[in-house]
Amino acid sequence: MSISGWRSAPVLLGIVSFAAILLLWESVVRLGWANPFFISQPSAIADSLSRAARSGELWNNLEVSLREFAIGYGASVVVGILAGALAGRFRIVEYVVDPFLWFLYSAPLIAFYPIFVLWFGLGVPTVIAITFLLSVTQIAANTLRGIQSVNPGLLRAARSFGASERDLLWKVVLPASVPMVIAGLRLGIGRALMGVVVGELFGATAGLGFSIAYYGALLKTTDMIASVVVIVVLGVLCTQALSAVEARFDSWRTGPG
**Can you give the binding site for other proteins, defined by CB under 8 A?**
9-10, 13-18, 21, 38, 92, 95-100, 102-103, 106-108, 110-115, 117-119, 190, 193-194, 197-198, 201-202, 209, 212-213, 215-217, 219, 221, 224-225, 228, 231-232, 235-236, 238-239
Query: Coil, strand, or helix at residue 34?
Result: coil
CB 146 within 8 A of CB 178: yes
Q: How far is CA 171 from the centre of its chain?
A: 29
Distance CA 209, CA 62 (A): 10
For other proteins, which is the closer residue by CB, 8 or 164?
Answer: 8
CA distance 172 to 150: 8
Q: Which of 239, 220, 219 is nearest to 231 (CA)?
A: 239
Least distance to other proteins, CB of residue 103, Å = 7
CB nearer other proteins, residue 188 or residue 252 = 188
Shortest distance, position 119 Cβ to other proteins, whole Å? 6
Minimum Å gap between C-beta 236 and other proteins is 5
Complex with other proteins: residue 128 or 197, whichever CB lies closer: 197
Burial 126-154 (b: 16+ CB within 10 A, else e): bbbbbbbbbbbbbbbbbbbbbbeebeeee
Residue with smaller CB distance to other proteins, 164 or 243 = 243
Nearest CB to other proteins, comparing residues 10 and 32: 10
Q: How far is the CB of 129 from other proteins (least distance, A)?
A: 13
End-to-end C-alpha distance for the chain, whole angstroms: 30
Rounded to a whole number of angstroms, the minimum distance from the CB of residue 162 to other proteins is: 27
